[in-house]
Amino acid sequence: MKNFFAAIVLFFVTALQAQTVTTPVVGGITLNLVQGTNFVGFALQPILELQVAVTIHTTQRNRIFLPASAPVTDGQFGSGVQATHVVEFIDSGVAEGMHSVISQTLATGRELVLTNPVPAGVADGASIRIWKLWTLGEVFGATNTAGLVGGTAASSADLIMVSNGTEFVNYFYSTGGAQGVGWRLASGGVVDQSGVRVPFGGGLVIQALGARSLVLSGQVKTGKTRVTLQTGRNFLANLCPVNAGGTSPSAAGLTLATSGMQSFLTAGRVSALADLVLIWNGTGYNQYYYATGGLVGTGWRRIGAGSTDQGAVPMPDGAFVIQRRGAPTEVVLNQGNY
């Protein structure tokens, strides 16, 4: 249900057929939505804007400085009003895969102010990438050139559902009426929502009234990605560019066992004590957890399936949910280099 064209690129949606990708990883993809719920993961990013080595403020580690070869203007990668870009650290070590929203760009000193501090142990000379965040208008077109079903009310349109960490915020393309024309909140209002940003490494849900195709162009992100799991539900994209399941499975694709998630999720003898991995099955979630013994033994288990090992379950093409029971924690996702 997905077709690559131009240079090889990457985009994931639940229940789509597996594909193998190779470099180069810039181009476009045709994405075919099914009627109903589609979990969409954004492994494909807007084109990389900058990759350089930086120096770090000696005491305020949320401030980094670009080299003289990379001059910037005030607000170029962030103005403090709305997040537009993220920094990703790509050197191996304690910060590999870390990313942070840029809250300010200052021309003086070629300075970037980050929302998260650079971890201790990261020294001057560390390499970064600067990525632009997707907006609804860029992904689907400011005038809905992607061709989603619009309407004068959310009830008669396709819904785009973006997680804010605790719940989904719903958007649709309004074709007129009281809310005017353009991207709008499903809950109402005339404020243009085309500039709403999609979280880096995250994704969204499209509730489609019918099957249709979308096209997206951009660049595949390779290497590790660090994310912070908040207490509660966390919406994550499967960033691996090949799939372990489907009609053409690859040994390089991720399963629950090879995902490495058992190394950072809270495990437990019963599901009520463990973090859950929720994978959409078309009508609801299959709920998995890592068991540490007891009646169900040790390993990946599915709620309702007893002691049957679930380690070989493929990670979905698109996105999945982690139900974090404990305090927020930073984890590393590794989608490999292809």
| Backbone phi, psi, residue 140, to 5° | -110, -5
State how far the Cα of 305 lies from the Cα of 44, in Å rounded to an integer. Answer: 34
Please give the pLDDT value at position 139. 86
Exposed / middle / buried, residue 133 (Cβ in 10 Å: 0-12, 13-18, 19+): buried
Please give the pLDDT value at position 257. 92
State how far the Cα of 2 lies from the Cα of 69, in Å rounded to an integer. Answer: 40
Please give the pLDDT value at position 153. 96
Handedness of CA 275, 335, 244, 204 (dihedral sign): positive
Task: Give the residue from 69, 73, 81 showing the smallest Cα distance to 111.
Answer: 73
Please give the pLDDT value at position 317. 75
CB 179 within 8 A of CB 238: no
CATH of domain 50-132: 2.40.30
Give the pairing of strands 319-324 and 232-237: antiparallel
Residue 140 is classified by DSSP as: H
- C-alpha distances in Å from residue 85, one per residue of 82, 115, 309: 9, 11, 41
Angle (CA) 131 20 32, round 5°: 75
CB 156 within 8 A of CB 113: no
Parse the chain into domains and list their residue ranges.
Answer: 2-45+135-219, 50-132, 223-334
Give the pairing of strands 99-106 and 50-56: unpaired
Please give the pLDDT value at position 37. 87
pLDDT in tens, the chain (338 residues): 333 333 443 444 443 333 333 344 565 556 678 888 888 776 677 778 899 999 999 999 999 999 999 999 999 998 766 788 999 998 877 778 888 899 999 999 999 999 989 988 889 999 999 999 888 998 889 999 888 999 999 999 999 998 876 788 999 999 999 999 999 999 999 999 999 988 776 678 899 999 888 777 777 777 778 788 889 888 888 777 667 887 678 887 889 998 889 988 999 999 999 999 999 887 889 999 999 999 999 999 999 999 999 999 998 877 888 999 989 887 877 665 55
Please give the pLDDT value at position 83. 81
Give the pairing of strands 276-280 and 285-292: antiparallel
